[in-house]
């Protein structure tokens, strides 16, 4: 079972590498959105520092949303999803493997890019650690929650719009605590509570999201 699980992750990573476009598009969108803010609000360091955390997190959230609709759609279109459902492992583990692969190809690059954009947004040096920790905990949660939305809308015409409407409200707690952690660190306060909340949300979604997404996929395949 472990070998099959790891092979599923490897399969999706290879497909993402061969296709390439979705991951690069998400990163390019992330950089572009954050880069536009200094042009829109002006180059004043005080203003940029004040909006840095919210800007980076909102841009990351939108970038993840941009890449969710193909998590299961491509497999449905070529018939692979039916074969994946017949594997000798629970469908929830298939979902978890695909969510991990999505994070490795989208969430992790966004996390590594965020500190560079923090320089552009004049982010306080004290806040970089909180930004990285928050992104490392928050972006996997975004991928897991997104798997539920992608499963609910798989095969639905113009499912991208519906996916956004379903997933965005569920992303708000991650956004709030991610931004709050960065702002607390910038002001010299403890970020322990925010990090614990992000950790709790990640732990909960690891358990709940694969089961909920697998149930939705079974309905779609039936």
Six token digits for residue 46: 């005080």
- Cβ neighbors of 5 (< 8 A, separation 6 or more) are 89, 93, 96, 97
Q: Quick one: which of 163, 68, 132, 133 has its CA closest to 106? A: 68
Q: Quick one: which of 61, 60, 70 has its CA closest to 21? A: 70
pLDDT tens digits for the chain (222 residues)? Answer: 788 888 888 988 888 777 766 678 889 999 999 999 888 887 788 888 889 999 999 999 999 998 887 788 777 877 787 888 888 888 899 999 999 999 999 999 999 999 999 998 999 999 999 999 999 999 999 999 999 998 888 877 766 778 888 899 999 999 999 999 999 999 989 999 999 999 999 999 999 999 999 998 888 777
Residue 10 Cα distances to 101, 140, 191, 196, angstroms? 8, 17, 35, 30
User: Terminal CA-to-CA distance of the chain, rounded, Å?
Assistant: 24
Q: What was the pLDDT predicted at 133?
A: 96
Decide if 174 contacts 200 (C-beta within 8 A): no
Q: Quick one: which of 175, 182, 177, 47 has its CA closest to 125? A: 182
Six token digits for residue 178: 């991610």
- Cβ neighbors of 34 (< 8 A, separation 6 or more) are 55, 56, 59, 117, 120, 121
The CA angle 76-203-155, to the nearest 5 degrees, is: 15
CA atoms within 13 A on the CB side of 163: 30
Helix axes 159-186, 192-221, angle to 10 degrees: 170
CA atoms within 13 A on the CB side of 195: 13
Q: What was the pLDDT predicted at 86?
A: 81
The per-residue DSSP string of 180-195 comes to: HHHHHHHTT---HHHH
Q: What was the pLDDT predicted at 21?
A: 63
| pTM, to two decimals | 0.91
Q: What was the pLDDT predicted at 206?
A: 95
Q: What was the pLDDT predicted at 93?
A: 92
Q: Quick one: which of 93, 101, 184 has its CA closest to 140? A: 101
d(CA 43, CA 38) in angstroms, rounded, equals 5
């Amino acid at each position: 079972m472990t070998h099959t699980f790891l092979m599923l992750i490897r399969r999706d990573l290879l497909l993402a590498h061969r296709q390439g476009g979705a991951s690069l598009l998400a990163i390019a969108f992330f950089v572009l959105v954050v880069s536009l803010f200094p042009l829109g609000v002006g180059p004043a360091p005080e203003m940029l520092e004040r909006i840095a955390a919210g800007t980076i997190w909102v841009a990351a959230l939108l970038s993840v949303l941009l890449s969710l609709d193909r998590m299961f759609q491509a497999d449905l279109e070529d018939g692979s999803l039916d074969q994946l459902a017949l594997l000798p492992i629970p469908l929830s583990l298939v979902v978890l493997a695909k969510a991990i692969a999505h994070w490795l190809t989208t969430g992790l690059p966004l996390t590594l890019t965020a500190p560079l954009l923090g320089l552009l947004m004049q982010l306080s040096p004290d806040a970089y650690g909180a930004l990285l920790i928050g992104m490392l905990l928050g972006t996997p949660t975004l991928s897991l929650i997104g798997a539920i939305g992608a499963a609910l809308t798989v095969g639905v015409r113009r499912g991208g719009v519906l996916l956004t409407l379903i997933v965005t409200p569920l992303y708000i707690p991650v956004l709030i605590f991610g931004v709050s952690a960065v702002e607390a660190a910038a002001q010299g306060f403890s970020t322990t509570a925010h990090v614990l909340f992000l950790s709790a949300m990640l732990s909960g979604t690891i358990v709940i999201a694969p089961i909920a997404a697998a149930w939705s996929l079974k309905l779609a395949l039936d």
